[in-house]
Amino acid sequence: MDKKVTIGIVGCGNIAETYLEQIADYDNVHLIGLTDIITARAQKLADAHNCAVYPDLETMVADEKIDLVVNLTIHHAHVEVIEKILHAGKHVYTEKPLAMSYKEAQRLVALAEKKKLRLSSAPITYMGEAQQTAGKQIADGVLGQIRLIYAEINHDRIETWHPNPVPFFDVGVLWDVGIYALTVCTALMGPVKRVTGYGKIIVPTRRTLDGETFQVTTPDFILSLIEMQNGGLLRLTCNFYANDSKQDHAIEIHGDGGMLYLGSAYKYSAPVEFIEFGGEPSLIPPLREPYDGTEYARGLEDLAEAILQNKPHRATGDHAAHTIEIMEAIDTSIATKQTVDVHSNFRQPKMMDWAS
């Protein structure tokens, strides 16, 4: 492919190196440069990946050579950063979450539409081989009527391995990792209509790798009952505590025809298994050789292809905004002890070309 989408990346924290390694293999993306509030951090990555460093975001978005900016900043900076990029006339691919409120997410989606720009958001792990393999079983009607879904995200005690865990506890387990299961379930089974949530701080005092203690202020355990528009009932459990759960981050989908097991919401090589009702389990082979782990930048590759071919991209702002409304509704339900309706909608993403 000769034509490429030229990109800049804002935010050079932990996930940036992963993105840079992955996009190096894409033939539809060309990296121009990086920027970060800590210039030395951007410079270190730029030296390793042979690209420019911009002193700030304003300088980056003013560069006419850049078509699209990838936002890898911390959660609470997303709205301000994305608005600057869109106002400068650049397409956006952002790490999750798109915003920290549904109202802000709506505003970003509306701004992108007004500017006639692409807005795409992680998580995109439903694009993985295991997830698409499971999705094809659903699309082919193997399960029949889906009535019950169990989704687990047991994400360990993040402070025992992450060098800067506090921002993740500030945003909360639902918004940081529960969003993976929500996005996979909605991508494969459609929108949500109402939620009932329960949350609790189970370990209020944590200790960083440097030995400093900090207080947890958002629930590190969340349980939610989620009613899907398709009639299915989803039970989502997520926490920043359990390390050795056999459920790990798996999703079970139960229909009249049997049970579909997806071993992970975000590992692309996870096992996929089907058990016909009253029958024996059978392993479903992946639709193609799976990526080993999680290819976080796959959504960027999909967006670049969509731009170059003038076709819809899969990870839309509407889908991201719907997921944010779900999480906001769960938070509201926890606070009010009431069931909360979800009003937004979105069009489910098409299966990947290789999975159709």
- pLDDT per residue, tens digit, the chain (356 aa), is 579 999 999 999 989 999 999 999 999 999 999 999 999 999 999 999 999 999 999 999 999 999 999 999 999 999 999 999 999 999 999 999 999 999 999 999 999 999 999 999 999 999 999 999 999 999 999 999 999 999 999 999 999 999 889 989 999 999 999 999 999 999 999 999 999 999 999 999 999 999 999 999 999 999 999 999 999 999 999 999 999 898 999 999 999 999 999 999 999 999 999 999 999 999 999 999 999 999 999 999 999 999 999 999 999 999 999 999 999 999 999 999 999 999 999 999 999 999 98
- pTM score: 0.96
Q: Whole-angstrom Cα distance, residue 32 to residue 67?
A: 10
Collapsed DSSP state (helix, strand, coil) of residue 153: strand
Kindly give, in sequence order, each residue whose CB lies less than 8 Å from that of residue 56, ignoring residues fewer than 6 positions away.
35
pLDDT of residue 244: 85
Nearest to 347, CA basis, from 308, 302, 314, 301: 314
Four-way CATH pick for 5-121: 3.40.50.720, 3.20.20.60, 3.40.1390.10, 3.30.70.100: 3.40.50.720
pLDDT of residue 52: 98
Q: Whole-angstrom Cα distance, residue 38 to residue 56?
A: 10
pLDDT of residue 338: 99
- Sheet architecture: strand order including 340-341: 281-283, 272-276, 258-262, 251-255, 146-154, 233-239, 221-228, 192-200, 340-341
Helix axes 78-87, 102-115, angle to 10 degrees: 10
CA torsion sign for 94, 99, 105, 107 is negative
Tell me the CATH number for domain 127-295+321-355. 3.30.360.10
Residues of the chain with CATH 3.30.360.10: 127-295+321-355
Q: Whole-angstrom Cα distance, residue 24 to residue 16?
A: 12
Do 200 and 237 touch, CB atoms closer than 8 A?
no
pLDDT of residue 2: 75
Return the residue matching tokens 């590190």.
Answer: 220
- Is 298 exposed, middle or buried, given 0-12, 13-18 or 19+ CB atoms closer than 10 A? buried
What does the DSSP assignment read for 24-55?
A: TT-SSEEEEEEE-SSHHHHHHHHHHHT-EE-S
